[in-house]
Amino acid sequence: MASSGPENLTSAPPTEMSADKRHAVLKGNCHCGRHRFEYKLPVDRKLQDEAVKCSCRLCFLKGYIWLPVRESTPSEGELIWTQNDGELIKNSSPVMNNEFCGNCGTGMTATHFFGPLKDRPLVNLRAIQGVDIFFLDSVVKTINIKEELPHEPLSLRSSDVLYNGSCFCRKVQVELLRHEQAWEVKEDNCSSCVRDAYVGIYPTKEYVRIPEEAYNQTFEYRYNSKGNGIRHCSSCGVMVFMTVDGPPGLEEMLGRLKEQNPERYEQMKKMVDANLSLQPLNLRTLEMVDWEEMYVRRVVRSDVGTAGYVLAEN
């Protein structure tokens, strides 16, 4: 069943820090807006100094960038929930508990079981509005954690498989097949991709195997009448792949265009067919990938921003 995005959008929420005497107030939310919060950061602190990444597999798969939540130390940020429409889905791994929205999949909070972040409440910086995620992702420090149960890659089932892919709990698995040319790898800073930490690799459908069970173990999120469905694991919340169907009314639109402008129709049909042939995958979920080679050297970043993304008023 598909989840839905914001509806009845009336005004854009503030995307800049509004400071009081002691704190800068940052507003955050899951993508669909069911869960919203304010994070109060002391004015003498900077996000890039407070934020931290963790090297554990789950944090990597979800691209988490954490901000500490104050318990008793005034110098840490304070988290105030301003809207909770239903409970967040709770997932526990050998490393941490984390919570995510069951409608749009945005990861929100976590607590680690060991390491430097042990027992510290954390909130996902990627859910905060208006942050420069490309900059922050490149400068925040990473805490290395040695996991008690090291990740063992899945075995390749046949010689035509280049990479296996899976969510953290492995209930959702995919296979990317070998191809003579390198597939395009892209990342942008739109409101959805930032929250999912999505780094997309774009093979065509004949080079991807997605078993029916993978669809059964995911929930789909769509918004703004887009023709793409975003698939997250229902258990661990990791975004693994997209479904590409085209926007509603596509066939009718093409039919009208064919009658009115046959030449333009041929051009548009070619573009549509090319897009519909794609099977986007989350690069983070592919095992045994040379991350330095694929992400640092090959990824094409697009500064598309969040223009047009608005939430309904509370």
Domain boundaries, the chain: 2-143, 161-302
Confidence of residue 151 (pLDDT cuts 50, 70, 90): confident
Inform me whether the pLDDT recorded for 268 exceeds 80.
Answer: no
- What mean pLDDT, rounded, does the chain reach? 86
Query: What's the average model confidence in pLDDT over 125-151?
Result: 88
- Predicted local distance difference test score (pLDDT) of residue 7: 40
Distance separating the N- and C-terminal Cα atoms of the chain: 26
The pLDDT, as a whole number, for residue 9 is: 34
> What pLDDT was estimated at residue 309?
84
DSSP string of 168-236?
SSSSSEEEEE--SSPPPEEEE--HHHHHHT--EE--BGGGEE--HHHHHTEEEEE-TT-SEEEEEETTT
Cβ(312)–Cβ(33) under 8 Å?
yes
Taking only the tens place, the pLDDT of each residue in 233-267 is 999 999 999 999 877 777 777 778 777 887 777 78
Select from 2.40.110.10, 1.10.340.30, 3.40.50.2300, 2.170.150.70 the CATH code of 2-143: 2.170.150.70
pTM of the model: 0.87
**CATH topology assigned to domain 161-302:** 2.170.150
Residue 155 has pLDDT above 90, yes or no: no
Query: Would you say residue 12 has pLDDT above 50?
Result: no
Average pLDDT over residues 136-156: 83
**Which among 69-83, 120-134, 143-157, 219-233 has the top mean pLDDT?**
120-134
Q: Do the two domains 2-143 and 161-302 of this chain adopt the same fold? A: yes
